[in-house]
Chain A
């Protein structure tokens, strides 16, 4: 049974006794070949310290709850098999540049306010058809990339433009805006565009591309944001974004 050492960044900023950050090490022994980082954290919580806090839900890399900073990269703890990390020391810390709640749990309130702000739903002005709204396979293909976003927040945490500017919408919200703007069924037009086509929206993106590197689903928020910039010009000059 192999042993694996976990080095965890622990902090409870609201604690009166010990609000400082500290690194704690735990050795986890496991059977077989397949241990994910999330399972390692469960093991630590059960055997060593029940107060260790972290978010998780689906355990199938589809809910985006367990995004953490693992061995120097943004990863989903449930998706990361430790044997693929090729080391016997696993360093886990919360996603940086976000307000800390406790241990691996960060405050995602601003992230979700911005997500909601870009109106992430289909907006229709024409009367609803009697049957479903038909979408061609070619048009569906256009939303293949952005629909896979699971809102884990890795891109938002990794974006230098978002670190220094609390009002910048960030890559996740803008990728979601792209997902609906590019959709052939959406008719929001200028209503949604006013929310992302401004200097705290798409024009604050300097194509640093940290978001592309951070995304555990291998999506490309920068590409989505660049599409939006061009769509704003097309809508302004030619009256049509798509």
Chain B
């Protein structure tokens, strides 16, 4: 193994750190989400009642954070797994990272679009 092969690899700290931060956010936001959905239920789970609940700015914020943290945590975890296998070279790893960001942003856009009537 040539030393130069290894020295070309950089970074990784931020994705490691954000994986931990999003894990904590998931626990907190998921707990709030589940408590408000299933324990402090607002009656029938129908469109109007769910709409009323989402109209609360705090809960909408929690749902958006939950969405972002969930997408980041899942796709970054998938990236770590895939980088152990076929995506081992720097070039392939970069392609994978860009690809997953595109997928993640698309999911985020779709989720935000679904929540948009209550955000606006």
Q: Which A positions have Cβ atoms within 8 angstroms of B? A: 109-110, 113-114, 116-117, 161, 164-167, 169, 194-195, 197-204, 206, 229, 232-233, 236
Per the CB 8 Å criterion, the residue count for chain B at the interface is 20
Q: How far is the CA of A215 from the CA of B15 in the complex (A)?
A: 29
Interface stretch (choices B50-58, B59-67, B81-89, B107-115): B81-89
22 A-B contact pairs sorted by A residue (CB < 8 Å): A109-B1, A113-B1, A113-B3, A164-B85, A164-B88, A165-B88, A167-B1, A167-B5, A167-B88, A194-B7, A194-B10, A197-B12, A197-B13, A198-B10, A199-B9, A199-B83, A200-B9, A201-B9, A201-B12, A204-B83, A229-B16, A233-B17
Q: Is the interface of B mostly helix, strand, loop or mixed?
A: helix
Instruction: State whether the Cβ of B43 lies closer than 8 Å to any Cβ in chain A.
Output: no
- B6 close to chain A: CB less than 8 A: yes
Given A194-B10, A203-B16, A204-B83: 12 more A-B contacts, CB < 8 Å: A109-B1, A113-B1, A117-B6, A164-B84, A164-B85, A165-B88, A197-B13, A198-B6, A198-B11, A199-B83, A201-B6, A233-B13
Residue of A nearest to B14 (CB): A236
B93 interface residue, CB < 8 Å from A?
Answer: yes
B11 proximity list for chain A (CB < 8 A): 198-199
Q: Report Cα–Cα, A167/B88, bound state, in Å.
A: 9
B16 touches A195 (CB 8 A): no
Whether B13 pairs with A161 at a CB distance below 8 angstroms is: no
Q: Which residues of B contact A201 (CB under 8 A)?
A: 6, 9, 12
Interface, chain B (partner A; CB < 8 A): 1-3, 5-7, 9-13, 15-17, 80, 83-85, 88, 93
When chains A and B are docked, how far (Å) is the Cα of A204 from the Cα of B13? 11
Complex CA distance for A236 and B17, rounded to whole angstroms: 11
Which residues of A sit under 8 angstroms from B7, Cβ to Cβ? 194-195
A229: which B residues are within 8 A, CB to CB? 13, 16
Are B17 and A206 closer than 8 Å at their CB atoms?
A: no
| A200 partner residues in chain B, CB cutoff 8 A | 6, 9
Most buried by B among A203, A204, A233: A203
Least CB distance from B86 to A in Å reads: 10
